[in-house]
């Protein structure tokens, strides 16, 4: 049997390379809207972040997504990530 290659992506906060399934993708859609992409398949420019609360808080503090997506990202996106993580939805 052939071993499949695991796609790796870099977390924008920690700069660690991790398997794509361990990260959460934040997308700037072609219309300019910023959304959380749980499927990893939405079209648009994406930025990946590790799936833990410390990375979400660090991203919010440094406003990393605004820099990587080249658009102003509201704090509601960061808050939604933190809230969903604490509820266990992510």
22-54: pLDDT as tens digits: 999 999 999 999 999 988 899 999 999 999 889
pLDDT score at 86: 66
Residue 2 pLDDT grade (very low, low, confident, very high; cuts 50, 70, 90): confident
Write down how long the chain is: 90
Q: Which CATH superfamily is domain 8-87 in?
A: YlxR-like (3.30.1230.10)
Structure tokens at 52: 């833990």
| pLDDT value of position 88 | 58
**Quick check: 25 and 46 in contact, CB under 8 A?**
yes
pTM here is 0.87
């Amino acid at each position: 049997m052939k071993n499949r290659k695991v796609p790796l992506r870099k977390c924008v906060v920690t700069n660690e390379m991790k398997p794509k399934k361990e990260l959460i993708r934040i997308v700037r859609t072609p219309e300019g809207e910023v959304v959380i992409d749980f499927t990893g398949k939405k079209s648009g420019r994406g930025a990946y972040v590790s799936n833990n609360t410390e990375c979400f808080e660090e991203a919010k503090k440094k406003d990393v997504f605004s820099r990587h997506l080249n658009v102003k990202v509201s704090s509601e996106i960061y808050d939604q990530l933190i809230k969903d993580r604490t509820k266990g939805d992510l």
